[in-house]
Amino acid sequence: MTEYYTPNAAEFQLGARQHFDYLTSVYGYQVTSAPSPLDGPFTTFFARSGRFVCVQGLSYGMSLAVELGTIGTLGTIESQFSLCTLMHLRTPHLLAPRFGDRRGQLEEMQFFAAALRQSAPDFLAGDFAALQEVLNHETALRAEAREAYEDAELSRCTALASQAFHAGQFSKVVELLQPRAHMLSKAQQAMLRLAIKRLSQSAP
């Protein structure tokens, strides 16, 4: 049986410092206050010479994110990307599903700390020559995820609209399909037009 543990803020901070200790001992980073909007009790911010690694708890203790990037002269974040993007680009084998007896943010820290060291030696050392490539890859991944979500949402809405049409619930058909009219097939557009027509015919 899998055990899932959610740490409190003090445990989170201690775990992040322990698992990512090589950032300070090997690369010379220091733990410091995170700039907004990354700051919070479940954020551990490592920074050095205009670059950072941010370990951040998300989803009420259910997940973890590790972000890298650059900091401007005024202390604000200039660029930012996810370790997962870097893993997708450089070490995709590390993204394989992992299962174990223990799960949670502390276990994820141990995994991500090792993955960061394997995936980002250049960034950790201050070499950001590949930054634009990584940012472009992250943009592409987000676009793919957004497209996949929109496709799934379209399938869900058209299925519900078909059920509503056959049940004579034409207002629901219009509600579901009209905002997505530009994405509909010819058959679905015809169903939307007919639903609108039926509504106009039934109007007093």
**Is residue 61 included in any domain, yes or no?**
yes
The whole-angstrom separation of Cα 178 and Cα 151 is 16
Strand boundaries in the chain, DSSP class E: 3-5, 30-32, 43-48, 51-58, 63-71, 77-82, 102-104
pLDDT category of residue 2 using cuts at 50, 70 and 90: low
**Is residue 120 located within the same domain as residue 159?**
no
Question: 153 pLDDT exceeds 60?
Answer: yes
Same domain, 46 and 88: yes
Residue 1 clears pLDDT 60, i.e. is over it: no
Query: Looking at the structure, do residues 71 and 162 belong to the same domain, yes or no?
Result: no
Distance CA 49, CA 28 (A): 9
State the Cα–Cα distance between residues 190 and 165, nearest whole angstrom: 12
Q: Does residue 60 have a pLDDT over 80?
A: no
Please indicate, yes or no, if residue 161 is contained in any of the structural domains.
yes
pLDDT tens per residue across span 113-136: 999 999 999 999 999 999 999 999
Are 77 and 39 members of one domain? yes
The pLDDT-based confidence of 62 (bands split at 50, 70, 90) is confident
* CB-CB neighbours of 199 under 10 Å: 13
Residues 151-172: what's their mean pLDDT?
92
169 and 74 both lie in a single domain: no
Same domain, residue pair 188 and 111: no
Q: How many domains does the chain have?
A: 2
- Asked if residue 142 has pLDDT above 80, the reply is yes
What is the predicted pLDDT for the residue at 37?
A: 82
Higher pLDDT, 97 or 130: 130
pLDDT digits (tens, 9 = 90+) for 25-36: 999 999 999 998
H/E segment holding residue 89: helix 83-90
Nearest to 184 by CA among 154, 162, 160: 154
Same domain flag for 49 and 125: yes
Q: Are 155 and 126 found together in one domain?
A: no
Does some domain include residue 204?
Answer: no
Are residues 43 and 112 both part of a single domain?
Answer: yes
Q: Which domain, by its residues, includes 96?
A: 3-133
Q: Which residues contact 95 (CB under 8 A, 6 or more apart)?
A: 84, 87, 88
| Mean pLDDT computed over 129-144 | 94
pLDDT at 121: 96
Looking at the structure, do residues 123 and 149 belong to the same domain, yes or no? no
3-state secondary structure of 91: coil
Which pLDDT value is given to residue 80? Answer: 94
Q: Is the pLDDT of residue 102 over 70?
A: no
Query: Is the same domain home to 80 and 9?
Result: yes
What's the CA gap between 60 and 160, in Å, rounded?
A: 32
Give yes or no for residue 98 having a pLDDT over 80.
Answer: no
CB atoms closer than 10 angstroms to residue 116? 23
Cβ neighbour number for residue 195 with a 10 Å cutoff = 24
The stretch 137-142 carries a mean pLDDT of: 93
Q: Is residue 57 scored above 90 in pLDDT?
A: yes
User: pTM for this one?
Assistant: 0.79
Asked if the model's pLDDT at residue 41 lies above 70, the reply is yes
Return mean pLDDT, the chain: 91
- Do 159 and 81 reside in the same domain of the chain? no
Give the number of other CB atoms < 10 A from CB of residue 77: 17
pLDDT above 70 for 196: yes
Instruction: Among 133, 158, 189, give the residue marking a domain's end.
Output: 133
